Amino acid sequence: MAVVSLSDAEKFFIVHGIEDEGLRTDGRSCEDYRCIELETGLLSNTYGSSRLRLGNTELLAGIKIELGTPNPKNPDEGWVEFHIDCSPNASLAFQGRGGQELSNGICCHLSRIYNNKSALDLKQLCIVPHHHCWVVHVDVIVLEYGGNLFDSISIAVKGALHNCGVPNVNVSAGDEGEFEINLPDDPADVNKLKISSCPVLVTISKVGNRHIVDPTLEEEFCSHASLIVGVTSKGLITGMKKVGSGSLCPESISEMLQSAKSVGKRINSAFTKLMKTEKGIAKSVEKTGYL
């Protein structure tokens, strides 16, 4: 959803810069990401949270956990629900119901990727099979829109899930077959979720006869076809979706998938390194958020 308007000369400049020189307007090469800033654990009233800045795109993800009844098809599993809110802060086009279509698309894609066995072990969300389970609500607000929403949301979600702690409850059998669930007194008594095989989405856009990673708003406007690929830390592809009105030939798709794999592996390893560093300095640094 491009909210920028470009003249033909500007489009020509962007497309030919990428085709002929392999250089983009901000000096990046075709497989470079913009600088990513990620901070977790900044909202005290949530079970897990993260803030992400990718170029001009700014997101805030928060996790609230509620009790629910498991789906009869999977009685020993909980589930994860995603909600994306494109805030009017981000762009005038998101006022009223303007951002609905975009957020629905991203929500569906994330749900598809996360509600299967390969991404997240949903059995860790079960409390009492057939009766009680945890429902993890992941809410993402888009505060500023500078292009490449899919990738940034997937990294923010992974960060929030990494920070998320599920309360360690003790279940006791009450009367009439009901169960009593007691929350622990200590708020730090939590179980962390295992997110090592959660995928990160990588958007590859076709511009002219080359493909680029992490498009800005202007580059998104110049590209007519993109592939959104889910890549895990081991380089496995977990899901793929093509967006845009243009068409792709099969050779392009295999080239783009190869790029997606290598870029995805790099992003995942950078993420893991950052989470380790953050854990190391967590106690000595105050979370500032937007201050």
Give me the residues that bind another protein (CB under 8 A), please: 43-46, 49, 56, 58, 60, 62-64, 66, 83, 85, 87-92, 95-97, 137, 139, 141, 143-146, 289-291
Instruction: Provide φ and ψ at 153, rounded to 5°.
Output: -65, -40
CB of 62 vs another protein, minimal distance in Å? 3
User: Smaller CB distance to another protein: residue 135 or 240?
Assistant: 135
CB 254 within 8 A of CB 211: no
**Shortest spacing between CB 161 and another protein, in angstroms:** 14
DSSP designation for 83: E
Residue 4 or 23 having the CB closest to another protein:
4
For another protein, the closer of residues 50 and 238 by Cβ is 50
Decide whether 48 or 264 has the Cβ nearer to another protein.
48
Q: Computed over its alpha carbons, how large is the radius of gyration of the chain?
A: 21
Q: What is the dihedral of CA 140, 143, 144, 149, to 10 degrees?
A: 10
Distance of closest approach, residue 141 Cβ to another protein, in angstroms: 5
Cβ proximity to another protein, 22 vs 289, nearer residue:
289
* Entry field: residues in the chain: 291
At its nearest, how many Å lie between another protein and the CB of residue 166? 15
CB of 105 to another protein, least distance (A): 17
Angle ∠(137,79,108) on CA atoms, nearest 5: 70
C-alpha closest to that of 244 among 287, 270, 211? 211
Determine how many CB atoms are found less than 10 A away from the CB of residue 232.
19
